[in-house]
Amino acid sequence: MNFFAGLHQYGDWALLALRIGVGSIFLVHGIQKWKMWSMQPSPQLPAGLLRIVRLLAIAEPLGGVATLAGFLTQPAAFGFVLIMLGATRLKALQMKKGFSGDGGWEFEYLLLLAAAALFLLGAGAFSLDRLWFGL
């Protein structure tokens, strides 16, 4: 059990790994939404939903870069929590998808919990938050 107790000293490395994972996913997925700027509303993508996706095309990459750098990590993570609550709700309730399987919402749920962990724990020692704000 001493081995496992000794792993606690690597908590800042774990937060860095978590930031890299969450930040890179939101950066890539946000950039993928950029093509939505040239789309027009349709029955499948009404104007209100298209506006939300366009907003996410800005917020997700910015939050992803901030999270990767460890800059304003907790506010970015809170934004990610809100985004993933919306995505999970959309898939589970409106699209009637199950938790797992084809098009399930398990990925959204995992990102929700990872973002919540960053929100609660902060960026860790290897971050601009620590350097500039002492967080």
Res 77: pLDDT: 98
Res 105: pLDDT: 95
Question: Is residue 55, in this structure, part of any structural domain at all?
Answer: yes
- Domain count across the chain: 1
Res 135: pLDDT: 87
- Domain of 50 in residue numbering reads as 14-133
pLDDT-above-70 percentage for the chain = 100
Q: Count the neighbouring beta carbons within 10 Å of the beta carbon of residue 64.
A: 23
Q: List phi, psi (to 5°) of 128.
A: -70, -30
| Rounded-to-integer distance, Cα 106 and Cα 98, Å | 9
pLDDT for residue 84 is more than 90:
yes
pLDDT for residue 101 is more than 90:
no
Question: Is residue 111, in this structure, part of any structural domain at all?
Answer: yes
- C-alpha torsion sign, points 81, 82, 87, 92: positive
Over range 102-115, report the average pLDDT.
96
Question: Is residue 110, in this structure, part of any structural domain at all?
Answer: yes
Q: How many helices (H) and strands (E) does the chain have?
A: 6, 0
Question: Is residue 126, in this structure, part of any structural domain at all?
Answer: yes
Helix (H) or strand (E) holding 44: none
